[in-house]
Structure formats: C-alpha cells, structure tokens
Copies of this chain bind each other. A is one copy, B any other.
Amino acid sequence: MEFRLKANIKCSGSVSEVVSAPEITEFMRDCNEGLLKKGAPPGCGAEIVWWNVAGEKIELKLVSDRFVRAHDALLRLKNELGKFLGKHRIGIRGMEIEDYEIAMEWEAELRIKKLPFVKEIKQEEGRLKLFLDVDEFALEKRIPDRILRLLEDKKEAARWKGKKEHWELLFESNKKSFYFDKDPTEELIKRGWIKHAAGRGQWIYGPQSTKIFRTFERVLLDEVCKPLGYEEMIFPKFVTWDVWKRSGHAKGIFPEAYYVCTPKTRDPEFWEDVMDYYKVTNEIPVEMIMGKIENVGGMCYAQCPPFWVFPQGETIPDEILPIKVFDRSGTSYRYESGGLHGIERLDEFHRVEIVWIGKKEQVIEQSKQLQAKYRRIFDELLDIEWREAWVTPWFMAQEGKTGLAELKEVGTIDYEAVLPYNGKWLEFQNVSVNGDKYPKGFNVKLQSGAELWSGCSGVGLERWAAVFLAQKGFDTDKWPAKFRSAVGELPEVFRFL
C-alpha cells in the first residue's frame, strides 16, 4: 500500500523571510529520520520527499507505506512545525490538501466504481488507485482510514456474496396432520376476514382474524411471558437515526426502511402552497412536499433497539438481573421486495418482542427457558409441525453480514414451519442471544463490572397465523381443542352485497 500526499501549509507570516533555508532543511531531515518513522518497523514509515517554502506557504510532498500513513504523517508534521515556527513567532493558519493518492493491490474481479471523498478511481492490473478529495478536517476525522476499512468491508462482503446465510438444524418436531392445502391468505380474503389495505404489503384485519391474532397473543402472554416473569413495557415505534447508529442498523437498513420525515416547520404559511395546490388539482404535490420535510429516522424495523434508550448510559445493580420485559404496542415495517406475499411476507406487521438482559449465563439460561415454553405451545396448543435452526444472528444479517458470530453462544434460532400449500418452510419467529452488542452500543454497564449480555425474541402474529392456518385450515372443528376453546366464537360483524 502506498500513500502520496501533496499539501500546502499556510502560515501567519512569511516563512522565507524569517527562517533560513538550512534551518528548514534541517527540520525536514530531522522529521524524516525521527517523527515520521516513529512506531513503524525499521525501514518503514513516511517521508517528506520534496518541499518548497514560498512566502507564507510551505508546500510538501509526502510518501508513505501503511505503517505511518501519509495523512498521519502530515498531522504529526503540522504539530511539530507549529512548535518550530512558534519560535519564530509564526503560527499555522491551516492546511490545503492538493492531492492525495492511495494505491494498493486489489482483486480485479471486485470493481470499485465510487467511494465517498474519492474523486477518481483507477483500477487496473491487480491494483487500485484512489484520488482523494479531502480537506484538513476530513484528515482529522480519519476519513482516509475509514475509506480503507470500507474497502476491507467490501472485500469481505464480496466473499460472502452468493453464499447462503448459515443454517444448521437443531430440532425437528414430530410429523403432524395437515387439514388444508391452499394458500391461507386467499382463503382469508375469500371469507372477508382480511382485506388489502391502501398501502403495499398492508392488510386490514377483520374481527375474525383479529380474534385469532389476539388469542395467539394471549397464549404467548399466559404460557411464556407470565410464567417466566416478563413485564410489559411500551417501546417507541418511530426510531431516530441515533438509535440505529447505536444498534448497528445504520450500516445496512437503508434499502428496506420505512423512512419518517417531519415538517421543516409547522408554520401553516410555509405549507399554504402545498394545500393550495392540492385544493386546485386534487393531487398531492409529492415533489413540493419533499422539499418541505426532513428525514429524521424510520419506523420500527427490529423491535428492540428503541427500548435500549431506557437503560442507555445507566449502571445496573447486579442483583436486579435478569431483567425481563416485552412489548406489543405497535406495528413494524419493512420495505419488502418482490417477495411480498399475503400475510406471510408484508410491509406492515404486528409482533410481540421479548427482551432479556443479564450476565452471560443468565441470558443463555433465559433463552433455554423460552425455547422450552415455545416448544410446548407449538406442540401441545397449536399442534404444528416445525423445526428449529441455528442461523446467522439477526443483527448481523440486518447489517448485511452472513456467517456466524465470533462467540458460539451468540446467535439466532429461527423457528420454521412447512406450508403444505407450497411445501416451503416459513420462518415464523426467532430466539436470539445477542451477546454484549446492545449493552455496549447503548453504554449500559453492570455495577460489578461484569459483562452485560442480552437476548430477544420476536413473535410475528401474522407469521403464527400464516403457519397455523396453512397447516390446520379453517374448519375450527379440526383445530386442537385447547386452542379452539381459547379462540371461542369467531365474531361476524360485516357482510357485503
């Protein structure tokens, strides 16, 4: 890896008038021998290969390897030069980065077309050359280092590309009787139990389907949350960017997010032209609106990140662990691709999110307890056929990664059930041990100083319904007796001609 930097240092007075040429030469030589080699293996580091003093300006060319990167060298040099010129009562006003080239070996197959803060990219014969467009402020923010890290990310992503997510069978239920062989969404529509809403991948649930959803929810509360001591909270549903920066979602959520924007101002005069346009045309002036709103975050995607603002920045006494809470206070959104399908894959969905926090062993133990409770529900109450698999942790997948976590206890169990109508397996919920990711991201500490871990489990009501109805159908006499009696009568409210 080679770095070539050309910079101009602007001073508060004429350097050529005050400092003699030999003095400057000595300063540069000293830097080349000491400062710009410090910390690098012998023979490595940065070097000032050319300089020129022109009045108040010092022009410099720096070349380096990866050990003392040229921009680091420049920052070191600026500091040292400040001290040196200070003796002559000259200050440093600022720096101008005229050119900055970084060249490295690179695999030809992985084309890099565009990078932030890079004005030109040349890629040939196994080499990649970047021409950066950076200023002093960008160097101080270590932008060049982050560009190199981003390139490493892209290499890694390319290695993953095409590879499937990790999937490893952990458990398979017994075979069960199926009483339906059609697409349950179509049957729900035919019966008038659901109706497509105005948005994409969005449904309105009529009284019958809502009663089934609420029964699932009650089963979950009575069989899982209450016996295991989970208490209900209400998590926010609009999620600010700050939360997604801490949760890691800001790395990869963009193509799938439902973005939320707020008005630049609430002043009615500011909005008068939009309202006038609508009144005159009966059309929403979407482009005009886009100029009057600003993006502040998005709607709930994974359900637990916004919860973490509750303990954010706090220190927790060890004796209150494990903390066990759940939320069922609203909708989640994903901008799904072509794969939209009925209530199985949708944009707006309803989920109960279970979250626990504790020491490593407590978190793993809670996960096991939850798994046992879930098995009882699926086996005895819903009588469905399902399997459990160890997969890429959800938080890695949502950051665009595949593979497994570094620690083998950290990861996600997906619950999948077969849909008799198409023979495919549908993931209908998960249980995850997230390690220290969230306590770290949101700066939550334990009094004892021990490592704090957390876990979460998301139960999608639409997914439970999709699986249960696909396997057990709509003849309630065929439903497992306990669940049938838990649901009770299905209310008939609407009838259309």
Spell out A's residues near B (CB within 8 Å).
114-117, 141, 143, 146-147, 149-150, 153, 195, 197-200, 202-207, 209-211, 213-214, 231-243, 245, 250-252, 254-263, 265-268, 270-282, 284, 286, 289-290, 292-297, 299, 306-307, 309-311, 314-317, 320, 323-325, 329-331, 333, 335-337, 347-348, 350, 400, 447, 491, 493-497
Asked whether A311 and B250 contact (CB < 8 A) given A233-B206, A236-B202, A271-B255, the answer is: no
Partner of A279, one of B242, B251, B277: B251
B residues near A286, Cβ cutoff 8 Å: 241, 294-295
Bound-state CA distance A277–B400 (Å) is 15
For residue A146, give the distance in angstroms from its CB to the closest CB of chain B. 4
A240 touches B198 (CB 8 A): yes
Q: Which of B210, B282, B310 contacts A234 (CB 8 A)?
A: B210
Q: How many copies does the complex hold?
A: 2
- How far does the Cβ of A351 sit from chain B's closest Cβ, in whole Å? 11
Contacts of A493 in B (CB 8 A): 231, 320, 323-325
| A306–B202 CA distance with the chains assembled, in angstroms | 11
Nearest-CB distance from A211 to chain B (Å)?
Answer: 7
A187 to chain B, nearest CB (A): 18
- In angstroms, Cα B233 to Cα A491, docked, is 11
Q: Can you list 11 A-B contacts with CB-CB less than 8 angstroms, sorted by A residue number?
A: A141-B281, A150-B280, A199-B240, A200-B262, A204-B307, A231-B493, A238-B347, A258-B260, A260-B261, A268-B400, A275-B400
A297 touches B199 (CB 8 A): yes
Partner of A143, one of B233, B281, B294: B281
New A-B pairs, 13, CB < 8 Å, besides A209-B234, A251-B279: A116-B280, A199-B296, A204-B234, A204-B236, A231-B493, A237-B331, A255-B267, A255-B270, A268-B400, A289-B295, A293-B295, A315-B497, A317-B497
